[in-house]
Structures are given as C-alpha cells and as structure tokens.
Structure 1
C-alpha cells in the first residue's frame, strides 16, 4: 500500500528522494537518445537540479543532468553546451565535455507520465577529482583564480549566446527590463520582510555597477556559481563543473561567489588573496579584484542567496 501511495502522490508533495525516484525513469528515457551503453545509474546529491552519474559499459563515466522546471529554457541550455564545447575545442581548461544525442543535438526534452512537465536533459563526460572545503589551500585557490580569469577571457569572445544575467535578484527581477530597477529593489526588500539592509546592499552594488560600466574589460560571460560544490581538483589542476547558472555579468561577480562561499573558513583571508593573485596573474589590469568592487558584489551574492531561500520556502 505504501509503495502504491508513493507512486500516486502528486509530484509536488514528494520529498527530494521521492522526486528523484520519479525522475530516474525520466533519466532512463533520456539516455535512450544517446549512443551510450548504460551499465548503472546513480543519483548525485549535489546541486539544485537532479543529476545522475552514468557508468557506461564502455568504461566511461558521464553525468546526466535533468533541468529544474523553473530553470533555463531549452535554447539557453543549448547555449551553455555551446560554450562548454568551445572551451573544450579552444582551451585546455578542465570543464565537462558535452555528449550530443544520436541526432547531434546538444540537449533533449523528455516527458514521463509521473512527472508533471517535460524536462530538458543534457549528458556530459564526468570530471574526476575531489571537492574540498575545510581543506582548501592557498595554492589551490591561486590555480582557481587563474582558471577563472582564463574562463572570463574566453567568454568575452563568445557572441550570440542565449543566456540571461547571472546576477538577477529574483524571478521577478529576471522578468523585468532592468533587473535592478527601483521596483525590483522594492520587491526584494518586501520579500526580505522589509529589511532595509537589503536596500542598502543593493544601493552599493548599483553604484559600483554604474561606475564600472558594461565594457568588455569588466563585463561578459561568467560561470555564475563558482562555489566549492562546483570546483574540484585533480592532480593539482582546478576543474570546474555545473555551468547551469552561467550568464552575463560583471567579472567581479564570479569572484564574489567564490569568496563568499569560503568566508566560514578560518583562513579565508589567505584564500581570498591567493584567489585574487591567481586572477591578476592572467588579467593584471582589472577592476574585478578591487576590494570595494569585490565587497559590493559579495553583498549582492548574500542578498541573492537570502532571497532565493525565501522564494523556495515562502
């Protein structure tokens, strides 16, 4: 009886484990679109999307990512895959390599009766390595800084991609012409229970954005989520995964995401300096590492995460 009830309950009422079980069937259907012999499918715990590790009978490992229903559009996901493919062709940066479908498509859309809406799915080669947190070291952050600068340098050459802004405050802001308009800020303050500290943080970042402008030296394609769950290390090299939040923004935003995510560590000041030194070793003439600029974007990131939490748990 319990299994029957679990299978008939509305998808929205299921916990993460229950939704993952439903989405596993959808993942199996998606994999039939690829020329990959599947030996085993294992759910991965990280990220806002649902993902499965795919052990291929060919000896290779892959990751199948199922987009959340409020995530990027199919066209936007294909643009993400186009950037990853270009990075694979044109650089030696360690990023996931997309696997096309049998029809040579970068993504596939799959439906299952047990899931309310069709989902966009992508498959890419799995990167080996270790995710670190408390054990992060200054040399590792230096290498991540180098990686980030090279990523930005490449992203500046990618034109015509269908990606939104990486620094949108909320879904409401994303739907507006100006994602930082007074109306958007008022809504953000209201969502935060009237906290005027949110307005002050956003005023600081608005002033910094205005001073920086939007030239190619300060603004372009960024990863959008460079925290510890999205970068790993293998044989001394930094590797970056999960470009699902990639979009256009100020380069300082990417660095701010990284900095804010390790502020709980006792050696965070040392890590911050190493990250910025590594970045400057590739892009020496940059405003992205200026302390006032970076601190303003750290404030933006904290507001983003707070509003996202409130949006997810109204």
Structure 2
C-alpha cells in the first residue's frame, strides 16, 4: 500500500528524492533517443535541474540533464547546446561536449504519465575534474581568468542564438522591454521587503551599464554562472561546466559572479587579482575589469540571489 501511495501522489507534493525517482524513468526514456549503450544510471544531487551520471557499456561516461519546467525553453536549451558544440569545435576550451540523438538533434523532449509536463533533456560527455574551494591557488584563478576571456571572445562573435539576458532581476523584469526600468526596480524593492539598498544597488549598475554601452567589446554571450561549483580542475587544466544559465550580458557580469564566489576565502584578494591578470592576458584593454564596474555587477548578482531565494 505504501508503494502504491508513493506512486500515485501528485508530483508537486513529492520531496526531491521522490521527484528524482519519477524523473529517473523519464531519463531512461530519453536515453533511448541516443546511440549510447547504458549500463548504469546514477542521480547527481546538485543544481536546479535533475541530472544523472550515465555509465555506458562502451566504457564512456555521460551526464543526462532533465530540465526544470520553469527554466529555459526547449529552443533556448538547444541554443545552449549549439554554443557548447561550437566552443568544442572552434576553440581549445574544455567544456561539455553535447551528444546528438540518432536524428542529430541536440535536445530530446520526453513525457511520462507520472510527471506533469514534458521535459527537455540533453546528454553530454562527462567532464573529468574536481572542485578545489579552500585550496584554490592564484595559478588556478589565473587559468579561470584566461578561460573566461576566451569564452567572451567567442561569445562576442556568436550571434543568433535564442538565449535570454543574464541580468534579469525578476520574472516581471524579464517580461519588460527595459529590464531596468523604474517599474522593474520598484518591483524588486517590493520583493525585498522595501529594502532601499536594493534600489541603490540596481540604480548603480544601471548607470554603469549605460556607461559601458552594448558594443561587442563589453557585451555578448556569457556563461552566466561561473561560480566555483562550475569550474573544475584536472591534470593542470581548468574546465567550465553547467552552461544552463548562459545568455547575453556584460562580460563584467561573469567576472563578478566568480569574484563573489571567492568572498569566503581568506586568500580572496590574491585570487581576484590572479583572475583579472589571467583575463587581461587575453583581453588586455577590457573595460570589463575596472574595479568600479565589477563592484557594481557584484551588487547586481547579490540582489539577484536575494530575490530568487
């Protein structure tokens, strides 16, 4: 009786393990679209989406991601995979390599009666590496800076992809022509319980954005979430993963996300300088690395995190 009850409860009432069990069946169905002999499927407990490690009978490993229903659209997920495929094809950057379906699509959409809505799913080759955190070194952050700058160089010439903006404050802001209008800022302050520090932070970054402009030297396609959990190291090289939040924005936003993720470390000042040195080694004249610009975007990032938690 307990098993029957668990299987018939509404999806929205399940805890994360319960939802993962439902989504596992959906993931198994998604894998039939790929020419990958599956030996084992293991849930990975991180991120807003539901992911599974796929051990292939061919000895290869993969990651299958089942998209959250309130995240990017299927077309936007396909654009993310197209950018990853281009990065793999056109640069030496170590990023996830998408696996096409048998019909050569980079996304497959699967439905299951036990899940309320169809889900977009993507499969990528596994990226080896480890998270470092407290033991991060200046040399490693220099490498992260180089990688970020090279991502931006490629993002500057990558156009026509269906991706949103990385600097949206709220769902309301995303739906407006001007995502930083007075009405959007008022709504953000309201969501923050009337805290006018939110207004000050957003107005500051609004002024900085206006000063930077939107030319390809400062604005383009960016990772959008390059915090510690999304860059890892293996055999002396840095790799970037989880491009689910990629979109269009100022390059300074990417650096601000990485900067803010180092805040808890005692060596954060050394690491931040190394990050900027690595970035400037690829993009030496970037207004993106100006301290006032970065501080403004750090403020924006903190407002975003506050409004989305």
Give TM class, smaller chain.
Answer: over 0.9
Q: Note the alpha carbon deviations across 1:65-89, whole angstroms, 9 max, x for none.
A: 0110011111111111111011111
User: 2:21 maps to what in 1?
Assistant: 21
Q: Distance in 1 between matches of 2:124 and 2:303?
A: 32
Q: Distance in 1 between matches of 2:74 and 2:269?
A: 40
Alignment pair present for 1:88 and 2:93: no
- Residue 34 of structure 1 corresponds to which residue in structure 2? 34
1:3 CA displacement: 2.0
TM-score, structure 1 normalization: 0.97
Structure 1 counterpart of 2:213: 213
| Within-5 A mapping of 1:56-135 | 56-135=56-135
Partner in structure 2 of residue 262 of structure 1? 262
CA shift, 1:15, in A, is: 1.1
CA distance in 2, matches of 1:271, 1:3: 51
Q: Partners in 2 of 1:11 and 1:269 — Cα distance? A: 45
Q: Which residue of 2 aligns with 1:191?
A: 191
State the Cα RMSD in Å: 0.7
Matches within 5 A, 1:142-153: 142-153=142-153
Q: TM-score, normalised by structure 2?
A: 0.99
Distance 1:268 1:16 in 2: 34
Does the CA contact (< 8 Å) of 1:62 and 1:125 recur in 2?
A: yes
- How big is the shift at 1:179? 1.1
User: What is the rounded CA distance, in whole Å, between the counterparts of 2:269 and 2:305 in structure 1?
Assistant: 22
User: Which ranges in structure 1 are unaligned for 5 or more consecutive residues?
Assistant: 310-314
Question: Offset at 1:28?
Answer: 0.3
Q: Which position in structure 2 is the counterpart of 1:312?
A: none
CA distance in 2, matches of 1:4, 1:216: 56
In 2: Cα distance, 1:46 partner to 1:278 partner? 29
Match of 2:280 in 1: 280
Distance across 1 between alignment mates of 2:170 and 2:2? 38
> Do the aligned partners of 1:46 and 1:229 also contact (CA within 8 Å) in 2?
no
Deviations 1:43-77 (A, max 9, x none): 11121111000000010000000110011111111
2:233 paired residue number: 233
